[in-house]
């Protein structure tokens, strides 16, 4: 393995952050002229180019350089932001992501069509702002080619302006990892702006990292001080001072100024002063940790929770008072560690929400629709285990909202609506749960259309369709293979979608609810637990055997009165508060019990079921482990847990039980 391969993971992590920032600000730039967005794009592209050059990824360097040239023209007002240009830049960002995937897998990151894309980007440089109207964008390549062939280019900067000379004093952050690599990147970025006339100490010493973090560069450049600020605005630079040699009387520009004294000129600083400055670096407040390490830590915390309960049971059984005080302290420490670990694993939903603006744009353009996409509550946090399974369900719902919900502009105008539809993705915390909502102001769900499709497929008869409520009708959309699309496209119509969404959400121990008003829009609400690792359960006994029921599925506990039990259709039911509920004794799981006199009412979504139990032992926090691959799946059981006494206790899968009714 070469020396640079050791930095590959660091390169990938930082490059993906820069890539995400480029895409996010491209979408901002398309909707409104924003100097801040241009600056962010330029900074990210420039940083990515410098890192790629230092890692010898020539393909990525070339692509970033070509994109950077375009952003420079836009920033200087020489190029207009058009829809066609934005399509080209977004395609380039897609190529960039593909290249990063290849590099992460150990490849060179040079796709076959890279040269074609780079040439396409270069053809935009000869244009002036307003040269080509939007309606003529489809002739972009030919017109740009003619412009270049005729030499109709603006006069080069070197012909207009002599090179300026700058003296740049840089102080690296004390917490900067791989100082030599970071210094190489900075020097290469400065070299892109002009000619490095002198580096003090010598460049070879700086690139070897054998310096104390302070070095000076003399640069001849026409790029201007703002470009130099962009290059030196890095988290690796604690402080930088740029002096214009042509104007020695003017005050130097201080970049990334900290609370420490301003960097002095090299010839004015004594060694003792420089050493003192290095010691006053800022503390490291954030570090990157491999997610697999957090998973291992979480498993250890779960084991601690189990063993804490076990030790507590032993102390209670043997009445060891001397151990009680210590156990209380250990219990508090384990609880604090558990809460801390849960908080560390919590990730803001922004991490997946930020992927969708590009998806919405592409689907809307393909379908000829105008969509305003609004994201709210991205700072709401979820456990990583829940977050991992959330991307596909949200993608399905967003695609359906654009394809089935929001109408074309002319249809919306005819209906008295604004031409541009609104799609809102929001998240909020409600007690112990997180609620994610996908809402559109489209045409809504036609209950009659759903009923017609259900009748055609033989799911219900026409007579049954007449008595269905709107809620029951909409529930057909979650049947496997059910689709109301009239034609198959690459977006919908294959009968794969909402059934997958429900299955995935239920596997995350969540629920999905639909509200829709025909002609006004639809609203899908996902209710998710913040974590799946440690949950509160109710411990009960059936036929002397213990089982656990998730508390969030328990509606109430009541006495089981025999006179209220009736048999309907061969199945026992019970009348409770004027509501008829199916009654299950779970004989096939735990055996027949003659002592059941307690009723536990369970609920999943809007459906209820009751089970008969012998004894309620109380509530406790437990760690739910999945069933072993050796045991396989077991109907009605979602996993097992080990309480304090060491017994292996099954956890009931309430969702599966209620589905059987």
**Lowest-confidence pick of 57-71, 545-559, 617-631, 641-655:** 617-631
Minimal CA–CA distance to 154: which of 72, 88, 229?
72
C-alpha 425: how far from chain center: 13
Q: Which pLDDT value is given to residue 490?
A: 47
Q: Which pLDDT value is given to residue 214?
A: 86
Catalytic residue among 19, 46, 65, 604: 46
Q: Which pLDDT value is given to residue 421?
A: 92
Catalytic residue among 18, 400, 553, 655: 400
Q: Which pLDDT value is given to residue 352?
A: 86
Count the neighbouring beta carbons within 10 Å of the beta carbon of residue 510: 23
Count the neighbouring beta carbons within 10 Å of the beta carbon of residue 202: 13
Instruction: Please compute the mean of the pLDDT values over residues 446-469 and round it to a whole number.
Output: 84
pLDDT tens digits, 321-346: 778 778 888 888 887 887 788 778 78
pLDDT tens digits, 97-117: 888 888 888 888 888 888 888
CATH number of 349-528: 3.30.565.10
pLDDT tens digits, 577-628: 888 888 888 887 888 877 778 899 988 767 788 898 989 988 887 777 777 6
What does the alpha-carbon distance between residue 116 and residue 63 come to, in Å, rounded to a whole number?
Answer: 11
What does the alpha-carbon distance between residue 136 and residue 148 come to, in Å, rounded to a whole number?
Answer: 18
Minimal CA–CA distance to 556: which of 610, 512, 605?
610
Q: Which pLDDT value is given to residue 375?
A: 92
Residue 3 known to be catalytic: no
Higher pLDDT, 389 or 274: 389
Residue 46 known to be catalytic: yes
Report residue 388's pLDDT band, with 50, 70 and 90 as the boundaries: confident
| Per-residue CA distances from 136 to 79, 151, 357, 566 (Å) | 15, 21, 26, 76
Architecture of the 291-347 domain = Orthogonal Bundle (1.10)
Architecture of the 4-154 domain = Up-down Bundle (1.20)
- Partners of 382 in beta bridges: 347
Superfamily in which the 534-659 domain is placed by CATH: CheA-289, Domain 4 (2.40.50.180)
Count the neighbouring beta carbons within 10 Å of the beta carbon of residue 46: 24
Report residue 250's pLDDT band, with 50, 70 and 90 as the boundaries: low
What does the alpha-carbon distance between residue 359 and residue 425 come to, in Å, rounded to a whole number?
Answer: 13
Report residue 440's pLDDT band, with 50, 70 and 90 as the boundaries: very high
Over 80: is that where the pLDDT of 632 sits?
no
**Lowest-confidence pick of 188-197, 371-380, 496-505, 624-633:** 624-633
Which pTM value belongs to this model?
0.60
Bridge-based pairing of strands 421-430 and 371-376 is parallel
Instruction: Please compute the mean of the pLDDT values over residues 263-286 and round it to a whole number.
Output: 44
Q: Which pLDDT value is given to residue 272?
A: 41
Phi/psi of residue 626, nearest 5 degrees: -70, 155
Evaluate the CA torsion angle 142, 148, 149, 153 in order and state its sign. positive
Collapsed DSSP state (helix, strand, coil) of residue 218: strand
Instruction: Please compute the mean of the pLDDT values over residues 294-300 and round it to a whole number.
Output: 81
Residues in the chain: 661
Highest mean pLDDT among 394-408, 453-467, 522-536: 394-408
Bridge-based pairing of strands 253-255 and 371-376 is unpaired
Helix axis angle, 225-232 relative to 179-193, nearest 10°?
A: 160
Class of domain 159-259: alpha beta
Q: Which pLDDT value is given to residue 4?
A: 55
| Per-residue CA distances from 417 to 31, 361, 406, 411, 519 (Å) | 21, 20, 11, 9, 10
Instruction: Please compute the mean of the pLDDT values over residues 436-461 and round it to a whole number.
Output: 87
Minimal CA–CA distance to 301: which of 324, 332, 326, 335?
335
Report residue 150's pLDDT band, with 50, 70 and 90 as the boundaries: very low
Provide the mean pLDDT of the chain.
Answer: 77
Residue 391 known to be catalytic: no
Phi/psi of residue 591, nearest 5 degrees: 90, 165
Catalytic residue among 68, 73, 243, 407: 68
Q: Which pLDDT value is given to residue 31?
A: 81
pLDDT tens digits, 212-223: 888 888 888 877
Domain boundaries defined on the chain: 4-154, 159-259, 291-347, 349-528, 534-659
Alpha-helical runs (H) found in 415-565: 447-456, 462-466, 470-474, 498-507
């Amino acid at each position: 393995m070469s020396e640079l391969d050791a930095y590959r993971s660091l390169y990938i992590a930082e490059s993906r952050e820069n890539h995400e920032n480029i895409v996010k600000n491209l979408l901002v730039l398309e909707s409104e002229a924003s100097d801040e967005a241009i600056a962010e794009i330029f900074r990210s592209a420039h940083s990515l180019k410098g890192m790629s050059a230092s890692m010898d990824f020539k393909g990525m360097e070339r692509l970033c350089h070509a994109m950077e040239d375009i952003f420079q023209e836009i920033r200087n007002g020489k190029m207009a932001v058009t829809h066609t240009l934005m399509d080209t830049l977004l395609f380039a960002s897609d190529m960039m992501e593909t290249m990063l995937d290849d590099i992460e897998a150990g490849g060179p990151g040079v796709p076959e069509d890279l040269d074609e894309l780079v040439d396409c980007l270069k053809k935009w440089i000869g244009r002036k702002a307003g040269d080509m109207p939007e309606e003529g964008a489809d002739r972009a390549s030919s017109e740009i080619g003619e412009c270049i062939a005729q030499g109709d280019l603006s006069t080069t900067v070197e012909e207009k302006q002599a090179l300026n000379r700058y003296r740049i004093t840089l102080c690296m952050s004390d917490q900067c990892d791989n100082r030599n690599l970071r210094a190489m990147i900075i020097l290469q970025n400065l070299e892109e702006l002009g000619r490095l006339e002198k580096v003090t100490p010598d460049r070879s010493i700086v690139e070897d990292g054998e310096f104390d973090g302070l070095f000076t560069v003399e640069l001849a450049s026409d790029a201007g001080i703002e470009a130099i600020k962009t290059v030196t605005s890095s988290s690796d630079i604690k402080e930088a001072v740029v002096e214009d040699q042509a104007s020695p009387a003017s005050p130097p520009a201080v970049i990334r100024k900290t609370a420490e004294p301003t960097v002095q000129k090299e010839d004015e600083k004594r060694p003792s002063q420089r050493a003192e400055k290095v010691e006053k670096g800022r503390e490291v407040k954030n570090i990157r940790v491999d997610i697999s390490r957090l998973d291992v830590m979480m498993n250890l915390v779960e084991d601690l929770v189990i063993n804490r309960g076990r030790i507590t049971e032993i102390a209670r059984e043997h009445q060891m008072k001397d151990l009680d005080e210590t156990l209380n302290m250990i219990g508090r420490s384990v609880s604090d560690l558990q809460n801390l670990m849960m908080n560390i694993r919590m990730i803001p939903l922004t991490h997946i929400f930020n992927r969708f603006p590009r998806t919405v744009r592409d689907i809307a353009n393909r379908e000829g629709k105008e969509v305003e996409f609004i994201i709210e509550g991205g700072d709401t946090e979820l456990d990583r285990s829940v977050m991992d399974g959330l991307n596909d369900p949200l993608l399905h719902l967003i695609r359906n909202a654009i394809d089935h919900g929001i109408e074309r502009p002319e249809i919306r105008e005819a209906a008295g609506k604004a031409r541009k539809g609104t799609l809102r993705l929001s998240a909020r915390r409600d007690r112990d749960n997180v609620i994610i909502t996908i809402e559109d102001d489209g045409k809504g769900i036609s209950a009659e259309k759903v009923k017609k499709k259900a009748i055609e497929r033989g799911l219900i008869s026409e007579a049954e369709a007449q008595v269905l409520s709107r809620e029951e009708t909409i529930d057909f959309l979650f049947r496997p293979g059910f689709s109301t699309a009239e034609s198959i496209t690459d977006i919908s119509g294959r009968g794969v979608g909402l059934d997958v969404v429900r299955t995935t959400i239920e596997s995350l121990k969540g629920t999905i609810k639909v509200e829709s008003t025909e002609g006004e829009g639809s609203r899908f609400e996902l209710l998710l637990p913040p974590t799946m690792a440690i949950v509160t359960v109710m411990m009960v006994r059936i036929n002397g055997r213990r089982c656990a029921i998730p508390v969030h599925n328990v509606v109430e506990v009541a006495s089981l009165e025999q006179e209220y039990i009736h048999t309907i259709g061969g199945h026992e039911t019970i009348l409770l508060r004027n509501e008829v509920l199916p009654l299950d004794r779970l004989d096939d799981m735990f055996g027949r019990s003659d002592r059941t006199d307690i009723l536990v009412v369970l609920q999943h979504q809007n459906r209820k079921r009751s089970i008969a139990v012998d004894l309620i032992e109380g509530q406790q926090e437990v760690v739910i482990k999945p069933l072993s691959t050796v045991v396989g799946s077991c109907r009605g059981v979602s996993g097992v847990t080990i309480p304090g006494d060491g017994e292996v206790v099954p956890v009931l899968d309430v969702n599966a039980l209620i589905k059987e009714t």
